[in-house]
Structure 1
């Protein structure tokens, strides 16, 4: 009887651990999808906007950009223009190392830059 109870407990522990790993896997996939939704920009959008365009029109074409990878995207880029507020995104092109930066000041797109992720 004791051997049977030990086997049952071992099986229950294995099932609980398996369910826990499955939940973690689904959470990780969810985070990756979330990052993709919030940080990917088509190069056509980058090319279409010009410095001086109203910030509201430019931002309407962009995802929020608010993800945990935002800080990593800032590395290696040119200096942020004084007084500007910037947003960073990854390109949807096959070259996933391209970062697009859009900087806004006084209600307009002050500058856009593209560079390689380091």
Structure 2
């Protein structure tokens, strides 16, 4: 009888752990998809905007950019123009040499002051 109880307890623990891992996997996939939705941008959008374009028009073409990976996207890029506000995105293009491309848009005085692209570190 004790052996049977031990087996049932072991199976119950395994079931609870399995369900917990499944929940974590779904949560992780959800976070990844949310990050991609907020930071992924079509390279054609990047090519279509030019320095001097109105900030409101450019931002209307961009996703929110709010993501937990924002800090990682900032690394390795050129210096930000003084007095500007920048937004970072991941290019939807194929990786170059195994690295994703970061697309940065910097705004100043209601205009796109600069755009830059560089490999993610």
Q: Could you tell me the TM-score, scaled by structure 2's length?
A: 0.94
Aligned to 2:25: 25
Q: Find 2:100's aligned residue among 97, 107, 111.
A: 97
Identify unmatched segments of 5+ residues in structure 2: none
Instruction: Report which stretch shifted further, 1-10 or 73-82.
Output: 1-10
Q: Tell me how large the CA RMSD over aligned residues is.
A: 0.9
Deviations 1:29-71 (A, max 9, x none): 0011011101111110000001111111100100111111110
**Offset, 1:3:** 1.5
Q: Could you tell me the TM-score, scaled by structure 1's length?
A: 0.96
Aligned to 2:4: 4
Are residues 1:109 and 2:112 paired? yes
How many residues are aligned here?
Answer: 118
Tell me how far apart the structure 2 counterparts of residues 31 and 86 of structure 1 sit (CA, whole Å).
Answer: 23
> Secondary structure of 2:76's match?
coil
**Offset, 1:117:** 1.2
Identify unmatched segments of 5+ residues in structure 1: none
Tell me how far apart the structure 1 counterparts of residues 29 and 6 of structure 2 sit (CA, whole Å).
Answer: 35
